Chains A and B, each alone.
Chain A
Amino acid sequence: MSALLEIRGIHKRFGGLHALNDVSLSINAGEIYGLIGPNGAGKTTLFNVLTGLYQPDEGAFTFNGKDLFRKKPYVVVESGIARTFQNIRLFANMTALENVMVGQHVRTRTGVIGAVLRHPKARAEEAGIKVRAQELLDYVGIGRRHDELARNLSYGDQRRLEIARALATKPTLLALDEPAAGMNPSETEGLKKLMEKVRADGVTILLIEHDVKLMMGLCDRIAVLDYGKKIAEGVPEAVKNDPRVIEAYLGVAPQ
């Protein structure tokens, strides 16, 4: 297996806070890669760096053989990385369908002239956007709620919609920031199935999650961040028994 995403020695500082300290990791195509760590360990910061929302201070970052170090978010998305947010950021006053249509922005081309003239090419593209948006809603299981405003969807459906919107950008790597947060066990189970389906369809997944049980059952490999540093990486079983990980979570070294 070849590395799809490769980051080397990433540093990110906020004033005196060293949020990411020499973090390196590589994710292989087709795997589900988990990222865990205590609150404030730098997981979301790493996500923001990966997706171009934050500019890292140092390091190297290649994706699919392409250099993405300090690139703008739209370049990152165009290269095939899409994300969701820990505290759901949908376009609240747009419908579910429209949210997913916006997600296709980066894969479509119609500009002002096309929009005004509505020539056959623009018409075809617009129709395609709509059809695909509906397909994606069906795919994540909320197809019937396409006309509902995003803000009126249930919590679990909002999470699903966010995933559909991210998938609309046709990503090779889907980065999910705590998708199961606040879900009940049956919703979590459904989410797990969805992620497996996404992976089976050829999308690599990077996952931040607190639900350790979910992570153990789902991830191929897991990395652990603590105070901005990567302290462990490996298959779930090994990570679970790593003394440094136990110390980071429990605050004491195991006897």
Chain B
Amino acid sequence: MVDIFIQQLLNGLIVGSIYALIALGYTMVYGIMQLINFAHGEIVMIGAMVTITCINVLLDAGVQLPGPLLLLAGLAMAIPVSMLLGFTIERVAYRPLRRAPRLAPLITAIGVSIVLQQAAMLIWGRNYRPFPSILPTEVHDFFGAAITDLQIAIIILAFVLMGGLFFLIEKTRLGRAMRATSQNPDVAGLMGVNINTVISMTFVIGSALGAVAGVMVAANYDQAHAYMGFMIGLKAFTAAVLGGIGNLWGAVIGGILLGIIESLGAGYLGDLTGGFLGSHYKDIFAFVVLIAVLIFRPSGLMGERVAERA
């Protein structure tokens, strides 16, 4: 029993650190322009798809490289693609509507999301794309639970990237400009911050993290699909809201927490409800958490309570 619990906890941590990476993308954009970037999930998906394609091309060309290096080559392709995509989306679909009624950018965001999804389907087809089996599959024992090299790498990489992001935000010039813009874009603009650059960079950085997260998802589940961005994006968004949207720490904590809730919940849901609800209800956890947070504590765990302005 105990090792099952640890296993669920571990699975939750793995998935949760991926959610956290994606949630950071949502929360950064929201913090700076109060916009839910619906298309972020699709960027995650494209990151995964490009990596898989790239690895397959290399394998087909007969390149003899160890698995992790192949993966790195794939990432080296996917990250710039996602960054470019993030940059373009902001320029084309959001920037012209920055002063428009709130409904407008939301609708374009949904439009962008659909376009990317359908484009992915035209390029990569309707079926699941298997992740090439290039990575070591050795399983380690961790207090009675099983963990693979890949999963260890996911956790470490996720935390390194988050650390890097925090360093960037707290210690660099760009980070300072981003923080200033999120406080008050107009004043930041007057102080000489180039808001457009800051917003573009926010999308670019978020997209890069998203691409890495997409590859993690695909590698962890051994597959990718043109529709995968929707669910993973929604869950990561939930994580961001759970932690307090706009708050970077909140995204990290919310992501990990949601991963663990989901994993434990799915594992024990059957027992809890006397077999009425089984693990196939796993996907509703995120929604239930989302709705509960929005009703009872809309500012999230780490968010400050903001007074409603009349």
Residues of A within 8 A of B (CB): 14-15, 44, 48, 53-54
A14–B307 touching, CB < 8 Å:
yes
Chain A residues whose C-beta falls within 8 Å of the C-beta of B310 in the assembled complex:
44, 48, 53-54
> Which residues of chain B are near A48, meaning CB under 8 Å?
310
Minimum CB–CB distance from A47 to chain B (whole Å) comes to: 9
In the bound complex, how far is the Cα of B307 from the Cα of A53, in angstroms? Answer: 12
Give A53's nearest chain B residue, CB to CB: B310
In angstroms, Cα B307 to Cα A15, docked, is 9
A162 to chain B, nearest CB (A): 15
CB-nearest residue of chain A to B304: A15
Among residues of B, the one whose C-beta sits closest to the C-beta of A54 is B310
Question: What is the total of A-B residue contacts with beta carbons within 8 Å?
Answer: 7
CA A48 to CA B307, docked complex, whole Å: 13
Q: Which residues of B contact A (CB under 8 A)?
A: 305, 307, 310
- Which chain A residues lie closer than 8 Å to B305 at the CB level? 15
A13 to chain B, nearest CB (A): 10
Q: Which residues of A contact B307 (CB under 8 A)?
A: 14-15
Give min CB distance, A158 to chain B, whole Å: 18
Q: List 7 A-B contacts (CB under 8 A).
A: A14-B307, A15-B305, A15-B307, A44-B310, A48-B310, A53-B310, A54-B310
CB distance from B186 to the nearest CB of A (A): 16
**Nearest chain A CB to B174's CB is how many angstroms away?**
30
B residues near A15, Cβ cutoff 8 Å: 305, 307
Bound state CA distance, A44 and B305, in angstroms? 21
Inter-chain CA distance A54–B309, complex, in Å, is 9
Chain B residue with Cβ nearest A17: B307
- A15 and B304 alpha carbons, distance in the complex (Å): 10
A83 CB to nearest B CB, Å = 10
A163 to B26, CA, bound (A): 42
Q: How far is the CB of B102 from chain A (nearest CB, A)?
A: 14
- Nearest CB of chain A from residue B100's CB, rounded to whole Å: 13
Give B97 Cβ to nearest chain A Cβ, in Å: 17
> Closest CB-CB distance, B111 to chain A, in whole Å?
23
**B138 vs chain A, min Cβ distance (A):** 53
Report how far A53 CA is from B305 CA in the complex, Å. 17
Chain A nearest CB: distance from B121 CB in Å?
38
Taken together as a complex, chains A and B put the C-alpha atoms of A104 and B310 apart, in Å, by 22
Closest 7 CB pairs of A and B: A53-B310, A48-B310, A14-B307, A54-B310, A15-B305, A15-B307, A44-B310
Residue of B nearest to A85 (CB): B310
Minimum C-beta distance from B156 to chain A (A): 39
A53 neighbours in B (Cβ, 8 Å): 310
A53 and B310 alpha carbons, distance in the complex (Å)? 7
Cα(A15)–Cα(B299), bound, Å: 14
Q: How far is the CA of A247 from the CA of B310 in the complex (A)?
A: 29
Query: Smallest distance from the beta carbon of A89 to chain B beta carbons, Å?
Result: 9
Q: Which residue of B lies closest to A45 (CB)?
A: B310
CB distance from A230 to the nearest CB of B (A): 21
Alpha-carbon distance A54/B310, docked complex (angstroms):
8
Q: Which B residue sits closest to A14, measured CB to CB?
A: B307
The residues of B that contact A44 with a CB separation of less than 8 Å are 310
The docked-state distance in angstroms from the alpha carbon of A15 to that of B310 is: 16
Docked complex Cα distance between A198 and B310 (Å): 26
Chain B hits for A54, CB < 8 A? 310
